[in-house]
Amino acid sequence: MAYKIGIVGGGLSGSLLAIQLLRRLPETDEVIVFEPRSVCGRGLAYGTNCASHILNVPAGKISIFPDRRDDFIEWLATSDDPEIRRYATAASFVPRQIFGDYVCSRLDQSIKQRFRPESFAHVRDTVNSAYPAEGGHKLHIRTERDQIFEVDHLVLAMGNSLASQTRYGFLHPWNTERTEGTSMRGPILVLGSGLTAVDTLLRLRETGYEGQVVFLSRRGLLPRPHDLTEPENHPAFTPTDAGAQPLSTLLAKVRNNAKQFGWRTTIDGLRPMTQAIWQALDDVKRRRFIRHLQTWWDVHRHRMSQETAQIIEAELASGNLKIIKGRISNAQKKPGQSWEISIRRHGQETAEDFSFPVAYDCTGPRADLETIDVPLIWFLNNMGHIRPDPLGLGIDVDDTCQAIKSNGKSSKFISVIGPLTRGKFWEITAAAEIRNQAATLAEDLSNKASSRYERTSLISADLPATITGREIL
């Protein structure tokens, strides 16, 4: 009997997991990806059609395979399109749409290499609930269109697609149709000043908006630019140094290392061990880091290409881009009218009033399980099959990415991959970390599949035999 693994989400996380599973599972086993979009492999980040949206790391560092680090460059070099082949160097910053093509191509290749292509299925529907099948060995998956699927294991790979809610009711950063093809002069407010804010500005310009854009953030910091001329990595400290030391001591080590070797090489040197360092910190230190240091880490760790940095510099010099360091004290909008927003600048006691016809929230997806308006997440959380991580960054998981239930035990049926595991791993939003996580989880799940005949009924140990509480249909 086939062992079936359901993956909710067909963006980067879900697609990389599917690729790894297809490489490992026997031909008789099946992978089902639940993704409403027409294709898997793109998600929000790589589904862009904006030519100005380019990767924020060079091509030589973004292969989707841990054991084939030059795979992306090789794919670029063998393309039939000369416009794509010209990016086939390790230092190239490639348009994100092309990277999405690459992921889709490798997924399609993985499917075709199996003798039973039907062992992979893409279901264009939204999963609303998951509950135990009769006997307790499997799960029933119910979709928005009331389709029922039976799987042995479920993986939540929804990532940034959970960003359905925005602060104050502002527009989603990927929703630019309000300004496409219009003569509106603005100004337009963009809440945040990170990479998503930069992406929003670039898309607005590409779609014809010529007015002023205002970035508003508490610290007013922009992502730093890449510099590929710096020497090899020099980590400031090792994971064994982190657990017992105050954050101030660790920060001093990073700063001293940056003075000696350069901040880029220092940050890059920490990257391979960031997850281990994060796990060595207790929750008190993690919260202090998020409150006081996260923004500084983000702008140094998640950088812009030199090309994008030059565009931003020109926008600032011309006055078409303005950055305000402060926060919103009040925001109101009446139907068909502009946003009336009061902003208190940093260091000032009184707020200033502004009017913006359009406002975008580019501060990142909401990951609070108690407020996320996603039926499946609400259902699983309400039933106790998952729980929030202690920091409110996503779903609580163990070291093997198994979801932790409300009773503190690891689920035998549900795993989580990608940005939703940020509370556990912190550095898990970039392709390099997700590819490693996907390979490890796929290995664990393939081992679970191989031991299918050794399983006993898990009704009492894991999911209840009957549904209690409310079920969203």
- For residues 395 and 449, membership in a common domain is answered with yes
- Kindly state whether residue 84 falls inside one of the protein's structural domains: no
Is the model's pLDDT at 469 over the cut of 70? no
Where would I find the beta strands (DSSP E) of 92-226?
120-123, 127-132, 139-143, 148-151, 153-156, 188-191, 213-217
- For residues 392 and 423, membership in a common domain is answered with yes
- For residues 380 and 355, membership in a common domain is answered with no
Is the model's pLDDT at 77 over the cut of 50? yes
Distance separating the N- and C-terminal Cα atoms of the chain: 29
- Kindly state whether residue 335 falls inside one of the protein's structural domains: yes
Residue 425 confidence class, pLDDT cut points 50, 70, 90: very high
- For residues 209 and 294, membership in a common domain is answered with no
pLDDT score at 162? 59
- Kindly state whether residue 284 falls inside one of the protein's structural domains: yes
Give per-residue pLDDT as tens, 162-177.
555 677 888 888 765 5
Q: At which of 252, 281, 301 does a domain end?
A: 301
Give per-residue pLDDT as tens, 243-254.
888 999 999 999
- For residues 178 and 319, membership in a common domain is answered with yes
- For residues 218 and 329, membership in a common domain is answered with yes
- Kindly state whether residue 62 falls inside one of the protein's structural domains: no
Which among 354, 375, 409 is positioned nearest to 126, based on CA atoms? 375
- For residues 315 and 217, membership in a common domain is answered with yes
- Kindly state whether residue 133 falls inside one of the protein's structural domains: yes
Q: At which of 301, 316, 339 does a domain end?
A: 301
Query: Mean pLDDT throughout 112-134?
Result: 88
Is the model's pLDDT at 312 over the cut of 50? yes
Range of the domain at 217: 167-224+304-361
66 or 364: which carries more pLDDT confidence? 66
> 105-130 burial, b if ≥16 CB within 10 A, otherwise e?
ebbbebbeebeeeebbebbebebbbb
pLDDT score at 178? 52
- For residues 139 and 250, membership in a common domain is answered with no
pLDDT score at 457? 39
- Kindly state whether residue 234 falls inside one of the protein's structural domains: no
**Structurally, how many domains does the chain consist of?**
3
Q: Mean pLDDT: which of 46-60, 368-382, 385-399, 452-466 is highest?
A: 385-399
- For residues 109 and 186, membership in a common domain is answered with no
69 or 132: which carries more pLDDT confidence? 69
- Kindly state whether residue 9 falls inside one of the protein's structural domains: yes
pLDDT score at 465? 39
Query: Mean pLDDT throughout 320-330?
Result: 96
pLDDT score at 217? 96
CATH of the domain at 186: 3.50.50.60
Q: At which of 284, 301, 318 does a domain end?
A: 301
Query: Mean pLDDT throughout 95-103?
Result: 95
Q: How many CA atoms lie within 13 A of 255 on its CB side?
A: 8
**DSSP letter for each residue of 321-383:** EEEEEEEEEEEEE-TTS-EEEEEEETT-SS-EEEEESEEEE-S-----TTT---HHHHHHHHT
Please state, rounded to an integer, the average pLDDT across all residues of the chain.
88
- For residues 179 and 126, membership in a common domain is answered with no
336 or 386: which carries more pLDDT confidence? 386
- For residues 329 and 208, membership in a common domain is answered with yes
pLDDT score at 163? 55
**Which residues lie below 8 Å from residue 290, measured CB to CB, with a gap of 6+?**
391
- Kindly state whether residue 149 falls inside one of the protein's structural domains: yes
- For residues 291 and 329, membership in a common domain is answered with no
Least confident of 91-105, 222-236, 324-338: 222-236
